[in-house]
Chains A and B, each alone.
Chain A
Amino acid sequence: MSLKTYREAINEALLQEMQKDKNVVVIGEDVAGGAGTNGEQDAWGGVLGVTKGLLKHFGRERIIDTPITETAIMGMASGAALTGLRPVAELMFVDFMGVCFDQILNQTAKFRYMFGGKAVTPLTIRTMYGGGLRAASQHSQCLYPMFTHVPGIKVVLPSNPYDAKGLLIQSIRDNDPVIFMEHKNLYDTSGDVPDESYTIPFGEANFTREGKDITFIAMGQTVEICNKVADTLKKEGKTSTVLDLRTLSPLDEDSILEAAEETGKVVIVDESYPRCNIATDISALICQNSFDSLKAGIKMVTPPHTPVPFSPPLEDLYLPSEEKVINTAREIL
């Protein structure tokens, strides 16, 4: 056990799984950097340096730099998965899924079903999502609701370094396609991570705070926002439950209902666009199953239904924040 960043936890998961299983390969744009040139090798390690250092262990055969074409990356990775490898493909920004969505939506997600269970597709797609980096509207979206919508794909949103490592190892060992979504703002956060390999099963939400007065349901980056709000409210004498969903598909419905019923007051904090997002989906789930336990209307903290602004002051105004979450909580406390 030692203190590691989210970035280091992901790198360590890849390193250990690649050492354990020679079928694991990494595919993506500049996942090492410098392929086919006389320039510096392993110059990048992915756009934010997450895969840096793997090249020297595994060479170009297993750390595969690709041309700038997401369509080809996903086609290559899906085919490789179908024929026996366990690729970890990097879709640099999730916003780029537009050019490879057919590969994911109509091919990869459907293989097991279309081939009557005889085909498995152990593909992990790592991708960055989320705002806060002043990267404008084509590099700042969340889009996880779109993947969650499609049966046949598992959707994973680790909120901290411990979960990032355990869930990535689980993703690589899983026999179905998994979208593993990394929030850009989390890479430098740190926490205790065991040095050994370990897994976290899909469909198991995590209670990060426990309380009696209000329940926050969060995913990915919004978990830490809710934890901080819970700690602030505690100083005012109100205790909160915070539930980290960890995976959106499969979804831990039991824990969601348990968390909602514990306090009867629910705030869902979701960074994705507000129409048809995770907050609306969970809200419906709670209303259908736990309506009698509710003591107030369910509240959602989401951005407005607009593209992510490039202007820093506007982006700050756009994103869910501690201030917005606490003000929303106070409306029902």
Chain B
Amino acid sequence: MNTDLKAITMPKWGLSMKEGSILKWIKSNGENISKGEMILEIETEKVVNEMESPEDGKILKICANEGDTVPVGSLIAVCGKEDTDDKIINEFINEFNSNFTPDVSSDENEEDNNEKIKVSNLEINFIKTVNSKEQNILFIHGFGGDLNNWMFNQSELSDKFNTYAIDLPGHGMSEKNIHNSTLDELATLTASFCKENDINSINLVGHSFGAGVSIKTASLFPDLINSLTLISPIGLGKEIDSTYLNNFINAENRRDLKKEIEKLYFNSEIITREMLNEVLKFLRIDNVQTTLTKIQNEIIINGEQKNNLIEEINSIKIPVCVVWGKEDQIIPSSHHQVLNDEINIIIEKDCGHMAHIEKPSLVNDAISSTITS
């Protein structure tokens, strides 16, 4: 196979994704592309999103056209460093296709991937990919999120690591009836979760409130945690958009909710009605609003952040990486200034509060290098 040519394939966004449709090619044949640049728009059962280029180079041939629906892993384009003879490109395509077999596991029902486990007396929902890799990752989402927030990260990193993603209490498909949920309690829950799964060493990836949980866990259970990758963490300053949390909890319809969800992203065009509907479905479950209000009270007091984790994060002895969207409207990225020199800080421009969704390859690279550093 010609090694100068690279295959661009249908990505796997979320563990249940089997196929995707090409909505629009942003780049066309012959155009130069660079790694991380958006090259096309893809629609899956769950989401419409732009795909980042996995390579630097030039698109030599587009193999799946707009409107096509193809299985995960299929060749959708060939890219290379320089113009290449059509014959060689076609040989490359034929060779790729003859070696490619789509995943046709009979696992039609995506819920089969979800598992439930009783931890700290609460039923916790999670998804795992365990293939006897050396390192384990646990993803912890933020306030109001769920494990699906990691759809661009978990399956991507499952090639190199064992991965776990949980729904925090009160979220996703985990128990909704909770008394309170302080960072200390959630850190204990995180440690118990690892113990229940026979994990002795784990790398935590936390977003926002989940990043706060991660810091607390590393501080209380230092022997368990191997590294931390934190995205827009709480606890490093007083400022936070407190109206966001309140309006999110109390949003009654798509229109109200959209105004809030827009604050999460630099590019709010990413937000679809489907996304908003999923959030509304969650908010409309009995007790969810009460539970979220309890959690909100653990994050905010008198309009400011309640938790101060600066000392804890700066005294952690393991590798720590902090990724922050420069245009984060929920928690300002300037909070990174309190971090010590040991910590790897990445401030990404054109990115909001959801770097793991807006800049997945950046975040995935950051996670990988933090774990292996």
Contact B253 A198 (CB under 8 A): no
- What residues of B have a CB within 8 angstroms of the CB of A234 in the complex? 67
B286 touches A197 (CB 8 A): yes
Contact B111 A197 (CB under 8 A): no
Select B253's contact among A166, A194, A204, beta carbons within 8 Å.
A204
Cβ of A201: which chain B residues have Cβ within 8 Å of it? 252-253, 284
| Residue of A2, A194, A200, A201 most packed against chain B (CB within 10 A) | A194
Q: Quick check: is B285 within 8 A (CB to CB) of the other chain? A: yes
| Contacts A201-B252, A206-B277; A3 near B284 (Cβ below 8 A) | no
B173 within 8 A of A: yes
CB <8 Å contact, A197 and B285: yes
Cα(A237)–Cα(B65), bound, Å: 11
B253: chain A residues within 8 A (beta carbon): 201, 204
In the docked arrangement, what's the CA distance between A134 and B272, Å?
41
B87 contact set on A, CB distance < 8 A: none
Q: Which residues of B contact A1 (CB under 8 A)?
A: 111, 114, 173
* Cβ 8 A contact of A200, one of B114, B272, B274, B284: B284
Interface size counted on chain B using CB atoms at 8 A: 18
- Name the A residues within 8 Å of B254 (CB-CB): 204
Interface: B179 (CB within 8 A): no
Total count of chain A residues near the partner, CB < 8 A: 20
Write out the residue numbers on chain A whose beta carbons fall within 8 Å of the beta carbon of B111: 1-3, 192
Contact indicator per residue, chain B 243-274, by CB within 8 Å of chain A (1) or not (0): 00000000011100000000000000000111
Contact A207 B273 (CB under 8 A): yes
Structural contact, A194 and B273, CB atoms closer than 8 A: no
Contact residues of A between 13 and 45, Cβ < 8 Å to B: none
Interface centre among B176, B277, B286 (most CB of A within 10 A): B286
B residues near A166, Cβ cutoff 8 Å: 284
Instruction: Check A174 for interface membership: any CB of B closer than 8 A.
Output: no
26 contacts between A and B (CB under 8 A): A1-B111, A3-B111, A166-B284, A194-B173, A194-B285, A196-B176, A196-B285, A196-B286, A197-B285, A198-B281, A198-B285, A198-B286, A199-B286, A201-B252, A201-B253, A201-B284, A204-B253, A204-B254, A207-B273, A207-B277, A210-B272, A210-B273, A210-B274, A234-B67, A235-B67, A237-B67
Which 10 A-B pairs give the minimum distances between C-beta atoms? Answer: A198-B285, A197-B286, A198-B284, A196-B285, A207-B273, A199-B284, A237-B67, A1-B173, A1-B111, A196-B286
